[in-house]
């Protein structure tokens, strides 16, 4: 029983670390969205959103690397806890399941692609009236 408790404590610590990495991702994404939506300077030309997206993609690549490593450990810990608790009558952790790195990757990169698409579309919509005004002159 002590072994399960110790492993569960490690699982909780790892869960907190992975949660922090997700929080960094959310804060940076919302910060960039707020800047692009709230600032006309962020879309004066197509260069600004392009540089913003390049920086965002560099961040997301590094963030995902840390997230994938943390999630792999979390996934392994959850499998070990389920196996260890199967031999105990007092503890049933059979429902404990951390997502695999592949499952997390699918969600993460889908979110990044959708976010980038929104920034591109928003920038294009803001720049379109400027292009029409320039062409009309």
The answer to whether the beta carbons of residues 18 and 74 sit under 8 Å apart is yes
Range of the domain at 9: 2-132
Q: Is residue 17 part of a domain?
A: yes
Over the chain (137 residues), what is each successive 10-residue block's mean pLDDT? 90 97 98 88 82 96 98 96 84 87 98 95 82 56
Q: Is residue 52 part of a domain?
A: yes
CA 131, 118, 105: angle at the middle one, nearest 5? 145
Q: Is residue 137 part of a domain?
A: no
One DSSP character per residue, 72-133 reads HHHHHHHHHHHHHHTT-SS---TT--PPPHHHHHHHHHHHHHHHHHHHHHHHHHHHHHHHHH
Q: Is residue 103 part of a domain?
A: yes
pLDDT of residue 135: 56
pLDDT of residue 37: 84
pLDDT of residue 125: 87
The answer to whether the beta carbons of residues 99 and 25 sit under 8 Å apart is no
Measured CA to CA, the distance from residue 51 to residue 80 in angstroms comes to 44
pTM beyond 0.75? yes
pLDDT of residue 94: 82
How many domains, in total, are found in the chain? 1
């Amino acid at each position: 029983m002590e072994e399960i408790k110790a492993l569960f404590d490690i699982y909780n610590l790892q869960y907190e670390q992975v949660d922090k990495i997700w929080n960094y991702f959310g804060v940076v994404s919302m910060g960039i969205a707020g800047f692009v939506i709230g600032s006309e300077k962020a879309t004066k030309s197509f260069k600004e959103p392009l540089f913003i997206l390049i920086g965002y993609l560099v961040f997301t690549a590094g963030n995902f690397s840390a997230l994938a490593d943390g999630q792999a450990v979390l996934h392994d810990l959850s499998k070990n806890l389920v196996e260890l608790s199967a031999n105990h009558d007092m503890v049933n952790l059979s429902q404990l399941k951390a997502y695999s790195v592949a499952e997390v990757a699918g969600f993460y990169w889908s979110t990044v692609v959708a976010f980038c698409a929104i920034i591109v579309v928003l920038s294009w919509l803001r720049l379109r009236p400027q292009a029409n005004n320039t062409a009309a002159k």
